[in-house]
Structure 1
Amino acid sequence: MSGHNETTTVRRQLGAVLFADVVGYARLMGNDEIDTYSALKSLLEQLETACQAHDGRVVAVRGDGVLALFETATNAVEFGVELHRIAEQSNRARPEDQHLRFRAGVHLGEILVDDRGIHGDNVNIAARLQEIAEPGRVFVSASVYEQIRNRLRFGFEFLGPQMLKNIAEPVAAYCVRSEVAGATMAATRRPEALHAHRPPPGIPSVAVLPFTSLGGEPSDSWFADGLTEDIILNLSKFKNLFVIARNSSFFFKASTKPPQEAARELGVRYVARGSVRRAAARVRIAVELIDAETGRTIWGERYDRNIDDIFAIQDEVTDAIVAATAVLIEAQERKRMAQTAPADLAAYGYVLRGQQYIFRYTRQDNREAQTLYERALARDQDYARASAAISRTMNIDWRYSWAKDAEHALDTALSYAQRAVELDPTDARGFGELGFVHLYRKEHDAAIGAYRRALALNPNDADLLSDYADALAHSGDNQAAIGNLQQAMRLNPYFPDQYLWHLGGAYYNLKQYDAVIDTLTKMNNPTEGQRILAASYAQLGDMDQARNMAARHREAHPNFSLDRWAKVQPDRLEEDTQHFVEGLKKAGF
């Protein structure tokens, strides 16, 4: 053995390491050992061929795990996404409980190579990223992200620094999504805001953290999540209260951070949290409100009621939080807070289940949400919330070209939004969806009017503020758009890239090209900002950067048509559209 060690040559090289592992492999083997082994063997052969096609090599197969090495981060990530596609294709011929699904991790750095394989901390980091990855996803380190962020048309969600097993320092990580469009809509942590301290605003401010689901099945968490969302929604309607957006609050769902730390990160004075236990027709809900400055619980309550009392409980919790934070309630706000309950409680359940899917922003999840909302409306045809929710799924379908018939999707969204506001003129969501449809039908006054109605009903809705700002920018009121976007970012500190995209558009209209570049380079998904970046660089006379961005855009969006884009652009002022077209043409589009 010692003689072998003396002749073994160890060298260092830079490489992108991918580690992938089958989810629940022991369970699958326990169910059917021979079938699982045969299916995995066939799948690994396909993956090895695909790996070679991406200029990589499989270094080792460890039971149900694959260790592969690539010269570039680009090839490693492209193979990681392809790996999941191949696995899903293979699963179509297998029962659902026998599906082989992978987790994958990719890291870039110096590795040790000898005739036995590859070794070192950087190999371990890829393996540990795989361990924390969601099934069907690729998690990558920041070193990989920096190499691919402008090259690959994937979506990237920043996950923050992750403590990995047996790795001394935290590793900043990103989740790769094959549907980049959805990733620009999804809430995400911002790398530049990791150490930001946000002082609470001058009015009472609160964050409602996701309620914990106790007992029952893990899949029952939709009920606890839905209850949390509805309390946030109720509180958001008070203009004298500052309420953190649902998306940012839900980043603390699996967090073990104490409430005071969550309050510091979100920049609020108060934090509400609670738990839900559901059993048959009964529900037990415990809630407490914590003053982050002192760490004291200033109010707490437990409710043990029939499940059909859920709306009364929500109202009581909202009242108590408002009272404890000393908010002045006007009669108009009190009326606005009262939500129209569905005639059928099962309809409410379908809406809550739909909410689990809609915020993921993928084509399949949007379809799942739409199906559940349709079931809710089938149970109660006068349920305004379900009608508004269906309109939203149609708008998302149209926005990202997921609908086969784009014009039909927009027309259908309009009819559902109109129905929602007829059924419940106090629900902001219907007016918000109406605003979006009117904007892209180029009915600017109707769009602005609908958004203003929505924000009068719910002034703390950050996504509504962002969409309203976009409508203002397309209507020529760019300064107002910028102010609304800044407020949206404060209400939703983990805001999606879309807010930056809207902000960049407003700055471009104002010919503040340096501000455009500063804004859009902060996007976690910069491939989606390359078009406006190219135009801005061109307007500044930096033609090398402009052409570079244009070339990268062509690579990521090979089917982009400038003529089609100009027709869809919903600008009220023709000079705004032409100003953008001018910049794109200068950049080489």
Structure 2
Amino acid sequence: MNVNTTSPNSSMTQKLGAVLFADVVGYSRLMSENELDTYNALKSLISQLEQSCARFQGRVVEVRGDGILALFETATSAVEFGIELHRIASQHNQTRPETQRIKFRAGVHLGEILIDDRGIHGDNVNIAARLQEIAEPERVYVSSAVYDQVCNRLRYGYEFLGPKQLKNILAPVSTYCVRSEVAGATMAGTMRPGMPGDILERPDTPSVAVLPFASHGGDETDSWIAEGLTDDIIMNLSKFRNLFVIARNSSFFFKTQAMPPKEAAQKLNVRYVARGSVRRSASRIRITAELVDASTERTIWGERFDRKIDDIFDILDEVTECIVAATAVMIESHEKQRMIQSAPSDLEAYGSVLQGQHHIFKYTRNDNRKAQDFYKNALERDEGYARAAAALSRTLNIDWRYSWTEDPSDALNQALTFAQRAIELDPTDARGFGELGYVHLYRKEHDAAIQSYQRALALNPNDADMHSDFADALAHSGDNETAITHIQQAMRLNPYFPDQYLWHLGGAYYNLRRYEDVIETVNKMNNPTEGQRMLAASYAQLGQTELARQIAEKHRAVHPNFSLKRWGSVLPDRLEEDTQHFVEGLKKAGF
């Protein structure tokens, strides 16, 4: 859509407004496959969107082909409509075949625009259009100008994607992805404004980041294989104490960025970068892998594996072994033994686990359910598959954490059962112990929780999320200083850490009465609405009651059903004084 055409004779006015641009994903393909059906379906859908737009105090300025351009009085209305647009499209798609579903990507920007009788124009309109171009399907990408207006008003998840160089826009635009499920966004890895890579110290031990392997082949759906293999290599390497291994979240942040190994290594401040590719056919798989010394930009090891797909477990072991050997780390024999994971007896069970991994890290209710189904399928095919049992426990823990199920208590009990089963099947896999630690904590069985996390970290000392979860258990058990050291380690292993790490750190600081540190920590969260309780309580404890009450009012707007009594009962504190200390701060703030 050309949004720059103006008439020299038009009367022109300038106005501050929020612009939304939305476009259909794969429109040309849809039209080529079924032109008449696509045309009629899109026409009906756009009619619904125009009616909805008016309800958000906006108007669709132009519809051309597969795109809509809309103008709103406020950034808040524009973002709310962007989320509603995807909901309407999803509902519309329920009756359509998977290959014929109409999905949008959307961009929103706020600024001064030019208005005449032919429409709206100017650089700020173009920025919204360019944000749409880089957006993921069924997502809304917004500029920092929009984020600043909505972050404390709308209870959505906001993932900072960094400054983006948009086509034909001179200066990079700081960009955020909006997620309707705020709970999941608190667990997703993200950049943070003002946190450059050069603040990271280079570890004393050999350090490595495994970048996401590329998926080469005709079928894009095979990307889950490349993702899963990358996951497994990271997991295998992270078990070695003598290696420093960047966490999955931070490694996968580079998935869509065509970045030389040296630049990625500089951002993560590691010495070595491993990368590769995967190509699969019906019966064979070809994996290429290399390890680059970023300080010299020299490939110190490279290999191509062209094997039967049944040999995938041997390939995994070889790739891991070669990376370890190439970094010249002295590995003790018992550590090598720990690296070897129990392979399933059924290759399709392994495939189901890899597909589950593809969904679980998206942290949405729907993806968590899909992951759960894949893990159940893996266990049905191989009832002795410990990894599948641990992963299933994780999905149930997530269901409990965010009330993504009708019976959260039952989900927690099931999570306990599957974690125990995973440990019985493979007592050398850290994942089962980690899930067990989480269940014990929220059952308020503190000693058992700490012992489980200690065992997990002994088996996998480089698991960043495990360090963060362990820190949360320690803080709730009264050992806040130790909790802070584990959070700091988690943040170094996972530089693009999720908001959840900051929440855990803020909780430890609050217990220690370090209220200024709580405020500084919570203000770094990309989802400020999720830190408002802790923020309000800290300001109240500092005597800044008016500010605390303002934050409490914002909290009430996005959490109208919040119950202080229920919150106090859910907190898994070992010490009653810690619970009362938090409740006291919230009461002072007006909760």
Q: Same fold (TM over 0.5)?
A: yes
Matches within 5 A, 1:341-490: 341-490=343-492
**1:400-458 alpha-carbon deviations (Å, 9 max, x no partner):** 00011111000000000000000000000000000000000000000000000000000
Do 2:210 and 2:246's aligned partners in 1 also have CA atoms closer than 8 Å? yes
Structure 2 gaps, min length 5: 1-5
Do 1:198 and 1:264's aligned partners in 2 also have CA atoms closer than 8 Å? no
Distance 1:94 1:308, change over 3 A: closer
CA distance in 2, matches of 1:230, 1:374: 19
CA distance in 2, matches of 1:261, 1:251: 13
CA distance in 2, matches of 1:548, 1:314: 54
CA distance in 2, matches of 1:123, 1:508: 44
For residue 299 of structure 1, the aligned residue among 287, 298, 301 is: 301
For residue 21 of structure 1, the aligned residue among 19, 23, 26 is: 23
CA distance in 1, matches of 2:29, 2:275: 35
1:311 Cα deviation (Å)? 1.9
Counterpart of 1:563, as a letter, is K
Do 1:216 and 1:278's aligned partners in 2 also have CA atoms closer than 8 Å? no
Aligned partner of 2:52 in structure 1 is: 50
Distance 1:5 1:525, change over 3 A: closer
Do 1:197 and 1:264's aligned partners in 2 also have CA atoms closer than 8 Å? no
Aligned partner of 1:308 in structure 2 is: 310
Distance 1:586 1:346, change over 3 A: same
Do 2:62 and 2:70's aligned partners in 1 also have CA atoms closer than 8 Å? yes
1:160 Cα deviation (Å)? 1.2
1:89 Cα deviation (Å)? 1.5
Q: Which moved more, 1:289-298 or 1:428-437?
A: 289-298
Do 2:197 and 2:268's aligned partners in 1 also have CA atoms closer than 8 Å? no
Do 1:197 and 1:265's aligned partners in 2 also have CA atoms closer than 8 Å? no
**1:520-553 alpha-carbon deviations (Å, 9 max, x no partner):** 1000111100011010111111112101110111
Counterpart of 1:373, as a letter, is Y
CA distance in 2, matches of 1:311, 1:190: 37
Aligned partner of 2:154 in structure 1 is: 152
Counterpart of 1:519, as a letter, is T
Task: Work out whether 1:240 is the aligned partner of 2:236.
Answer: no
Counterpart of 1:54, as a letter, is F
Give the secondary-structure state (helix, strand or coil) at the position aligned to 2:532. Answer: helix
Counterpart of 2:120, as a letter, is I
**1:248-302 alpha-carbon deviations (Å, 9 max, x no partner):** 1111122211000000111101111112222233222221111111111111222
Counterpart of 1:428, as a letter, is A
Aligned partner of 1:278 in structure 2 is: 280
**1:72-130 alpha-carbon deviations (Å, 9 max, x no partner):** 10010001101111111222233333222111110001111112211100000001111
Give the secondary-structure state (helix, strand or coil) at the position aligned to 2:170. Answer: coil
Task: Work out whether 1:85 is the aligned partner of 2:123.
Answer: no
1:27 Cα deviation (Å)? 2.5
**1:111-163 alpha-carbon deviations (Å, 9 max, x no partner):** 11112211100000001111111111111011100111111000011111112
1:7 Cα deviation (Å)? 5.8
The runs of at least 4 consecutive aligned structure 1 residues that moved more than 6 Å come to none
1:315 Cα deviation (Å)? 1.8
How many residue pairs get aligned? The number is 586
Task: Work out whether 1:67 is the aligned partner of 2:69.
Answer: yes
1:518 Cα deviation (Å)? 0.2
Aligned partner of 1:586 in structure 2 is: 588
Aligned partner of 1:319 in structure 2 is: 321
Counterpart of 2:357, as a letter, is Q
CA distance in 1, matches of 2:228, 2:532: 37
CA distance in 1, matches of 2:465, 2:197: 24
Give the secondary-structure state (helix, strand or coil) at the position aligned to 2:561. Answer: coil
**1:211-233 alpha-carbon deviations (Å, 9 max, x no partner):** 12222411112112111111111
Do 2:197 and 2:269's aligned partners in 1 also have CA atoms closer than 8 Å? no
Give the secondary-structure state (helix, strand or coil) at the position aligned to 1:94. Answer: coil
Give the secondary-structure state (helix, strand or coil) at the position aligned to 1:536. Answer: helix
Q: Which moved more, 1:414-423 or 1:300-309?
A: 300-309
Give the secondary-structure state (helix, strand or coil) at the position aligned to 1:522. Answer: coil
1:246 Cα deviation (Å)? 0.9
Give the secondary-structure state (helix, strand or coil) at the position aligned to 2:358. Answer: helix
Q: Which moved more, 1:409-418 or 1:64-73?
A: 64-73
1:50 Cα deviation (Å)? 1.2
1:237 Cα deviation (Å)? 0.5
CA distance in 2, matches of 1:280, 1:85: 37
For residue 531 of structure 2, the aligned residue among 529, 532, 542 is: 529
Aligned partner of 2:574 in structure 1 is: 572
Task: Work out whether 1:225 is the aligned partner of 2:212.
Answer: no
Do 1:391 and 1:433's aligned partners in 2 also have CA atoms closer than 8 Å? yes
Aligned partner of 2:191 in structure 1 is: 189
1:10 Cα deviation (Å)? 1.4
CA distance in 2, matches of 1:561, 1:486: 32
1:195 Cα deviation (Å)? 5.5
What TM-score do the two structures reach when normalised by structure 2?
A: 0.97
CA distance in 2, matches of 1:89, 1:231: 39
Counterpart of 1:160, as a letter, is G
Do 2:157 and 2:185's aligned partners in 1 also have CA atoms closer than 8 Å? yes
Aligned partner of 1:500 in structure 2 is: 502
1:176 Cα deviation (Å)? 0.6
CA distance in 2, matches of 1:175, 1:439: 32
Give the secondary-structure state (helix, strand or coil) at the position aligned to 2:186. Answer: helix
CA distance in 2, matches of 1:343, 1:191: 46
Counterpart of 1:187, as a letter, is G
Q: CA RMSD in A?
A: 1.3
CA distance in 1, matches of 2:156, 2:589: 23
Give the secondary-structure state (helix, strand or coil) at the position aligned to 1:528. Answer: helix
Distance 1:40 1:216, change over 3 A: closer
What TM-score do the two structures reach when normalised by structure 1?
A: 0.97
Give the secondary-structure state (helix, strand or coil) at the position aligned to 1:192. Answer: coil
CA distance in 2, matches of 1:284, 1:102: 34
Counterpart of 2:529, as a letter, is T
Give the secondary-structure state (helix, strand or coil) at the position aligned to 2:539. Answer: helix
Aligned partner of 2:117 in structure 1 is: 115
Do 2:198 and 2:269's aligned partners in 1 also have CA atoms closer than 8 Å? no
Counterpart of 1:321, as a letter, is I
Do 1:275 and 1:285's aligned partners in 2 also have CA atoms closer than 8 Å? yes
Aligned partner of 2:144 in structure 1 is: 142
Do 2:226 and 2:278's aligned partners in 1 also have CA atoms closer than 8 Å? yes
Give the secondary-structure state (helix, strand or coil) at the position aligned to 1:524. Answer: coil
Counterpart of 1:581, as a letter, is V
Q: Which moved more, 1:294-303 or 1:573-582?
A: 294-303
Counterpart of 2:479, as a letter, is D
Task: Work out whether 1:128 is the aligned partner of 2:127.
Answer: no
1:28 Cα deviation (Å)? 2.4
CA distance in 2, matches of 1:46, 1:374: 39
For residue 36 of structure 2, the aligned residue among 9, 34, 37 is: 34
1:51 Cα deviation (Å)? 1.1
Counterpart of 1:568, as a letter, is V
Aligned partner of 2:518 in structure 1 is: 516
Counterpart of 1:570, as a letter, is P
Distance 1:44 1:276, change over 3 A: closer
CA distance in 2, matches of 1:282, 1:180: 41
CA distance in 2, matches of 1:317, 1:63: 48
